[in-house]
Amino acid sequence: MRHACLRSAYMAFALAALLAAAVPPAFAAADAPAGSVKSLAGEAQVARGGAAPTALKAGDKIYEKDVLTTSAAASLGLVLRDNSTLSLGPSSRLVVERFLFAPEKGALASLIRIKKGSMAYTTGEMAKLSPETMQFMAAGYTIGIRGTHILVNVDEEPENAEGR
Amino acid sequence: MSSQRLLSFLVAVLLISACGKNRNVVLLLPDPDGHVGSVVVQNDLGSQTLAQAGTATRLSPKAAPSAPETLSPAEQEQLFGPAQRAMPSRPVKFILYFVSDSVQLTSESQALLPTVLASAAERKTQDIAVVGHSSKSGDEAYNMDLSRRRAETVRRLLVKSGLEPGIFEVTSHGSANPLILSASPHEPRNRRVEVTVR
């Protein structure tokens, strides 16, 4: 059972890597990071801009479009640019689709997709300035947060929920 | 012996019922400060608002989100325990004030620097934001430069006290983000640098 899970995770990973490799690296990472790694237990990885996933360590910066994954017994804690905090439990996968926090320019945007596993999130300044901006997606649902602490668990997001 | 069997039977029933449940769950909890916000969960088939701490909704592919319910402590732990324990503590923000038209910290703010350093050490921080601000008096280009020099001054002081130069992110906002919306362009509480220790 666990083996089958692992295998499908690896296959999904390999597929994602292939797809990413097929697309030219036209993705433009916003210059400003979306956040940084505050804490880490076990192994967590980031896949960025079509490159192979690399291991994360405390202090590493996180950017828009990053795909974050944790291993079976691992967990990961992030502080985002608006001082919100986000953590992932074991065997989780999350995509920072969009995260822009530049209130001095009036630029705020956020979309975080939970593909698999568990996530906890406590809102920061973005939710205070513009509550409608904080958007999450999981299992084909959109989740809007009005200033609070939420937890989301997803067993495995069906692939057809991708475009929604 | 029979009570032991009963117990193992109950455990098995609990496990099976927990396993049988839809594990796609959104749960609302209070903020660290006790405040409870709300969450709106929706898909094409409907939406559900959670507004009470400790309530959850389940997500199925071809249905609207389920009516709010309270999770058992066992299920909450099983689904969210590790993620909850991995949650970083909230960043801490310090505000340092300056003497008018200068990069000289007020004596009270000078005295706050050891507290900033202690917080950085305690949190083993690798990420400190330093944002400079000015009051509204004077022209904005000058204020932008002044707020940048203030932020640089704070960074230099903290690096001199032993913090790694690479962990700082220094920005300046001029007079665009006042702390106090004051009638006076000389509001002293707007002449500041905000230091966020993450």
Q: List pLDDT tens digits, range A26-45.
A: 333 447 899 999 999 999 99
Q: Which of B61, B85, B109 is the last residue of a domain?
A: B85
**Residue range A65-74: average pLDDT?**
97
B106-111 long-range contacts, Cβ below 8 Å, gap at least 24? none
Do B29 and B64 have their domain in common? yes
Do B100 and B161 belong to one domain? yes
- Hey, are the CB atoms on A152 and B23 less than 8 Å from each other? no
Candidates B19, B23, B28, B41: best to mutate against A (most CBs of A within 10 A) is B41
Single-letter amino acid, residue B115: T
User: Chain A closest CA to B3's CA: distance in Å?
Assistant: 32
Q: Do B43 and A147 touch (CB under 8 A)?
A: no
- pLDDT over 90 percentage in chain B: 72
Mean pLDDT of chain B: 90
* Count of structural domains within chain B: 2
Q: What is the pTM of this model?
A: 0.80
Quick one: B75 and B114 in the same domain?
A: no
> In this structure, are B7 and B48 located in the same domain?
yes
Q: Average pLDDT of A151-157?
A: 86
Q: Which residues contact B55 (CB under 8 A, 6 or more apart)?
A: B27, B28, B68, B69, B70
d(CA B56, CA B27): 4
Checking if the pLDDT of B137 tops 70, the result is yes
Range A102-122 average pLDDT = 91
Instruction: Check whether B136 has a pLDDT greater than 80.
Output: yes
User: In angstroms, rounded to a whole number, what is the distance separating the alpha carbons of residues B145 and A126?
Assistant: 26
B63-109 pLDDT, tens digit per residue, is 999 999 999 999 999 999 999 999 999 999 999 999 998 999 999 99
Residue that terminates a domain, selected from B65, B85, B105: B85
Q: What is the dihedral of CA A12, A163, A35, A123, to 10 degrees?
A: -120
Residue A88, amino acid: L
Domain range for residue B57?
2-85
Residue where a domain stops, chosen among B51, B85, B119: B85
Q: What is the pLDDT averaged over residues B4-21? A: 57
Q: Are strands A134-138 and A93-102 parallel, antiparallel or unpaired?
A: unpaired
**Inter-chain CB proximity A143 and B40 less than 8 Å:** yes
Contact predicate B126/B165, CB 8 Å: no
**What ipTM was predicted for this assembly?**
0.80
Residue A88: strand pairing partners = A76, A119
Are B98 and B187 within one domain? yes
A146 neighbourhood in chain B, CB within 8 Å: 37-40
Q: Of A12-21, A125-134, B126-135, which one has max mean pLDDT?
A: B126-135
Task: Judge if B49 and B22 occupy the same domain.
Answer: yes
Residue with the bigger pLDDT between A23 and A124: it is A124
Beta carbons of B100 and B142 less than 8 angstroms apart:
no
Least confident of A33-47, A56-70, B3-17, B24-38: B3-17
Using a 10 angstrom Cβ sphere, with 0-12 exposed, 13-18 middle and 19 or more buried, the burial of residue A57 is: exposed
With 0-12 / 13-18 / 19 or more C-beta atoms within 10 angstroms meaning exposed / middle / buried, residue A131 is middle
B65–A78 CB contact, under 8 Å: no
A59 to chain B, any CB pair closer than 8 A? The answer is: yes
Cβ within 8 Å, pair A118-B90: no
Mean pLDDT of all residues belonging to chain A? 82
What would the pLDDT profile of B148-174 be if each residue is shown by its tens digit?
999 999 999 999 999 999 999 999 888
For residues B54 and B119, membership in a common domain is answered with no
State how far the Cα of A126 lies from the Cα of B176, in Å rounded to an integer.
17
CA dihedral B118, B121, B125, B127 (to 10 degrees): 50
Domain A2-159 listed as CATH 2.60.120: yes
Q: Are B83 and A154 a contacting pair at CB < 8 A?
A: no
Is B4's pLDDT higher than 80? no
The CA distance from A36 to A19, in Å, is 26
Nearest Cα of chain A lies from the Cα of B81 at a distance, in angstroms, of 8
Structure tokens of B110? Answer: 């000078």
Q: Which two tokens stand for residue B58?
A: 């389940």
Do B67 and B110 reside in the same domain of the chain?
A: no
**pLDDT tops 70 at residue A3:** no
Q: Is the pLDDT of residue B6 over 70?
A: no
**B59: pLDDT strictly greater than 90:** yes
Contacts within 8 Å (CB) and 24+ apart, A69-72 = A69/A13, A69/A44, A69/A45, A69/A93, A69/A94, A70/A42, A70/A43, A70/A44, A70/A117, A71/A42, A71/A43, A71/A44, A72/A6, A72/A42
Sketch the domain layout of chain A as residue ranges. 2-159
Q: Which of A4-8, B28-32, B43-47, B117-121 has the lowest mean pLDDT?
A: A4-8
B32/A138 CB distance under 8 A: no
pLDDT reported for residue B7: 59
Alpha helices, H only, chain A: 2-22, 125-129
Contacts of B24 in chain A (CB under 8 A): 138-139, 153-155
Give me the helix-helix angle, B73-85 and B2-20, nearest 10°: 60
**In this predicted structure, which of A20-34, B30-44, B57-71 has the lowest mean pLDDT?**
A20-34
pLDDT given for residue B173 in this prediction: 86
Give the gap in angstroms from C-alpha B2 to the nearest C-alpha of chain A: 33
| Dihedral over Cα of B133, B139, B141, B142: its sign | negative
